[in-house]
Structure formats: C-alpha cells, structure tokens
Amino acid sequence: MLATALPHRKGVLAALAAVALAVAWVVAPAAATAAPHARPPERSHPFLLALGDSISFGFQASKVGSPPDPAAFSTGYADVLAARDRRLRVTNYSCPGETTTSMIDGSCPWTAAGFALHDDYQGSQLVAADAFLRTHRREPGTVTLAIWGNDVAALSAACHDDLDCVAERAPAEVAAFGDRLGRILRSLRSAAPSARVVVVAAVHSFPPPSPEIDALYAALNRTIASTASTAGAAVADIVPVFDPPDPAERTAAICTLTLTCVSNGADGHPSDAGYRAIADAITAVIRRPCPS
C-alpha cells in the first residue's frame, strides 16, 4: 500500500502536492461546458461563497470527463453544506490549480485550459469575489477559502522535489504565502465586513509522517492561523482529523478521508467522506458565537 510506497526523500514533495494538481488530470484542452447557474436568490437566506482551489471545487480525478463537467463534481464540502441547509444560496468561484498568486492576479489555470467552473466570472477570482461580496454586503453569509496546495506544489517544483531544498527555502516561501493570503483576506473583509470568513487549514494526504513535511505544513498552518486572526477570519482546523500524529491512525485517516489509497497514490483529493469532514469543521466554526 501507499504507506510503504513513499520512503524516498526525493519525489515525496511531488506526491504530497498531487492533491492540488487537478488540472494535470485533463490531458488536452477542450471547449468549456456551460456551468449551471444558481437558482434565483432569496435575499433573506444566507449566502455561501466558496473560494480557492480544487479542494473548494470538490475535485476528484475519477469524475473528470472529456471535457470536465462542473456538475460531475457534486460531493464537495460546499455541496455538503448546501444539502444540510437548504436555505443556503451557494456560489462557487473556486478554480482547480489556483495559487494565492493567481487568485490575486487572475488567469485561473482551469479556465485557461478551456474548462468551465461551477460559477463563471471574468478576471481574477479575488476581484470576482469582492464584487460578489459588495453586492451582497448587507446580507447574511459565509465565505470559505481553501488555498495552499498549489503554492506547495510550486515550491516543490522549484526545488525539483528535493526535501533539503524545500526545508531551506520554506521559511521565505511560507512568509511570502502569508503576505499573499493576508492580502486576499483583507480584501474579502473590506468587501464584506459582516460576513463570516472561514479559512480551511492545510493538510497533506500521503503517509507515513515525514518530519520535513510535517514541519512545512505546521509552518503553513501557523501562518494561516495568524494571518486569519489578523484579518478577522476563522480557521476550520481539519489537521487533527486528516493528519493525526500517530502513524497508524494517520494512515487509516488518509485512506478513509482521501482517495490516496484507492487510487494507489494518483489522487490525494478528499473522498466523499473527506469532504464531509471538511464540511463538519466549517460548520463547527460557523456555529461559534461571533467575536464581539
């Protein structure tokens, strides 16, 4: 099984980053399929704006068609939250392959490849999100954001998957990631001062635990937590569920909550159970009393 298939230092980062590389599953560009649009809004009902990368998109490689149909990806955490609360008006701007850089500056890799999103927009995801939030700023709602995997993938690629290089470059890269995340969260908060903003913590999906990888993700999560707190956002901490410290428990969690084991390491995205677990963590945050 996968727990014994990843003993090598070189190449581990590439495997860990595979959870974020959804665009690579689509071999060739194709004409975009029209994404289904949300039902007419009841403005008294709360909105849910899902932002980020393939995790927020609900990506699972086995559902990729030719071309990919956004409607096929219907078991993500946003779908789970909508099924649990039928009042939610869901808008999902998430982009598979997105980084914090592309979220700010535009050029969604998924649409650049010719594929459709759940909900289409022009320009960068952040600009579209800000426009949505300004339009709905007087309405109750929640913004969710999951974006870190492709930033890790970029670091891994720059280091040619060498863990010593990653460890050396991680402090500066994590700090830069924090700066970009802070820019995103401040922009969202400015556009919607009263909305609940929830950032999903970073997890990896390949056992066994590696000290270098665990250190990288711990640094990412410290940065996510401090940046979110400064911006008035909350964190949905899924780390204890997906990446418990005990090696046997972690392997069991990863094989249940991600597609790593059933895909023989080819797809580390969440399983349906994993997306439900992410929805659970977001729900727990939403139910907390808002800080005064």
β partners of residue 197: 143
Low-confidence residues of the chain, pLDDT below 70?
A: 1-44, 209, 290-292
Contacts for 164-172: CB closer than 8 Å, 24+ residues apart = 164/9, 166/13, 166/212, 166/216, 167/212, 167/215, 167/216, 170/215, 170/216, 170/219, 171/219
Q: How far apart are CA 198 and CA 93, in angstroms?
A: 15
β partners of residue 120: none
pLDDT at residue 14, as a whole number: 43
pLDDT at residue 288, as a whole number: 85
Helices (H), 52-147: 54-57, 77-84, 100-105, 109-112, 125-135
pLDDT at residue 8, as a whole number: 37
pLDDT at residue 210, as a whole number: 81
pLDDT at residue 45, as a whole number: 76
User: pTM for the whole thing?
Assistant: 0.88
Q: How far apart are CA 210 and CA 229, in angstroms?
A: 28
